[in-house]
Amino acid sequence: MKKIIALFVVSILLLTGCGTNTPKSKVEAYLNRYSSLSDDVKTDLETRVSSESLSIENQKIYKDVLTRQYENLKYEIKDESIDGDRATVKVKLTVYDLYKMDKDSINYMNNNANEFYDDANQFSEELFNKYRINLMLTTNETVNYEVEFYLNKVNGEWIVETPDRTTLEKIHGMYNYEME
């Protein structure tokens, strides 16, 4: 019984003691929107999928790829630095390595192009995309990235700046780390 009471007290302290208006907590909330598939993340996901030149069937699979990516996103806050009304939060992200799967699928296609020919003996982008997206959907390979989130304090509230393209590519697992 004492353990249960102690656990309850610790839970209350964690819920009330952790500030919800700290740079760290704001970045955690931002990343949790991905893992919980908040409405705005779902809208962005739908926009991203529909903007791809994919068939309806492949769009559904690609949506599953991104949903899986977001739901399994792992992060660890490494550092928080505050300088007046500006802050930086360093985070270690762990995501599925979709960039590698994309690259592997292209290498496979280059060496096995005949597998992607249709009944008219023409290369089928549709068949290749299905292969590529299914490879992404089934991978368990992950990659770690160190990213920084920048925040500004506005009217006493910490606001996460819109991440740059590189950070978003890392969240999506599509960052070309070979270019570094």
CB atoms within 10 A of CB 62: 21
pTM, two decimals, is: 0.85
Residue 4 placed within a domain = no
In angstroms, the CA 73 to CA 46 distance is: 18
CATH at 78: 3.10.450
Residue 6 domain flag: no
Q: Report how many domains make up the chain.
A: 1
Q: Is residue 33 part of a domain?
A: yes
Long-range contacts of 77-81 (CB under 8 A, 24+ apart): 77/24, 77/27, 77/28, 78/146, 80/22, 80/23, 80/24
What is the extent of the structural domain holding 39?
20-179
Q: List per-residue pLDDT tens for the chain, 180 residues long.
A: 333 333 333 333 333 344 589 999 999 999 999 999 999 999 999 999 999 999 999 999 999 999 999 999 999 999 999 999 999 999 999 999 999 999 999 999 999 999 999 999 999 999 999 999 999 999 999 999 999 999 999 999 999 999 999 999 999 999 999 987
